[in-house]
């Protein structure tokens, strides 16, 4: 019986490792002076964005905004779009009802960001709008023109 359990455990472990999806793939690159591959480079699969909300959500989630680390299940929404910038709210939803049989969900802002599509600058204005914190984030393959078309074409 112990051997049978060991075999089941081993088979389960092998299947779980072999079924894991890889989000990155490795491709060989060529040296400029030779036709032989010299090293392998990791390439991320790029997402095709169909809405400004999808793009902004992915960008903010990839950033180092402190609200993302501080709160469980933070959500992102576009609060305002002007000709120069996009104002982004990071919020959490809480059930504030006193009766457990009735949900009363309310949203609480936990962070505010500004994104400038022309320059690609993302700033955290939560603590002080006059002295924003510049954030780092994963820069998509979208160009400034594509972002402007995606977010400002109404």
**For the CA atoms of 95, 97, 102, 107, what is the dihedral angle to 10 degrees?**
-30
| pLDDT given at position 146 | 83
Across the chain, mean pLDDT equals 76
14 vs 57, residue with greater confidence: 57
Distance between alpha carbon 123 and the CA centroid of its chain, in Å?
A: 16
33 vs 69, residue with greater confidence: 69
Strand segments (E) across 8-104: 24-30, 37-44, 75-81, 86-95
Burial of 87 (0-12, 13-18, 19+ CB in 10 A): middle
Burial of 62 (0-12, 13-18, 19+ CB in 10 A): middle
What does the radius of gyration of the chain's CA atoms come to, in whole angstroms?
23
Please check whether residue 54 is in contact with residue 76, taking contact to mean a CB–CB distance below 8 angstroms: no
Encode pLDDT of 106-122 as tens digits.
899 999 999 998 889 99
| pLDDT given at position 154 | 60
Q: Does the pLDDT at position 13 exceed 50? A: no
Q: Does the pLDDT at position 14 exceed 70? A: no
DSSP state of 132: P
Q: Does the pLDDT at position 75 exceed 90? A: yes
């Amino acid at each position: 019986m112990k051997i049978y359990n060991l075999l089941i455990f081993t088979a389960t472990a092998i299947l779980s490792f072999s079924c894991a999806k890889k989000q990155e793939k490795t491709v060989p690159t060529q040296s400029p002076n030779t036709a032989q591959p010299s090293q392998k480079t990791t390439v991320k699969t790029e997402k095709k964005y169909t809405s400004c909300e999808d793009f902004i959500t992915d960008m903010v989630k990839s950033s180092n905004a402190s609200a993302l680390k501080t709160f469980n299940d933070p959500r992102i929404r576009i609060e305002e779009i002007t000709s120069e910038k996009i104002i982004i709210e990071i919020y959490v939803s809480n059930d504030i009802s006193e009766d457990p049989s009735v949900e009363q969900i309310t949203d609480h802002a936990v962070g505010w960001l500004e994104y400038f599509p022309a320059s690609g600058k993302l700033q955290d204005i939560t603590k002080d709008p006059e002295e924003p914190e510049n954030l780092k984030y994963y820069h998509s393959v979208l160009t400034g023109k594509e972002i402007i078309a995606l977010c400002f074409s109404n």
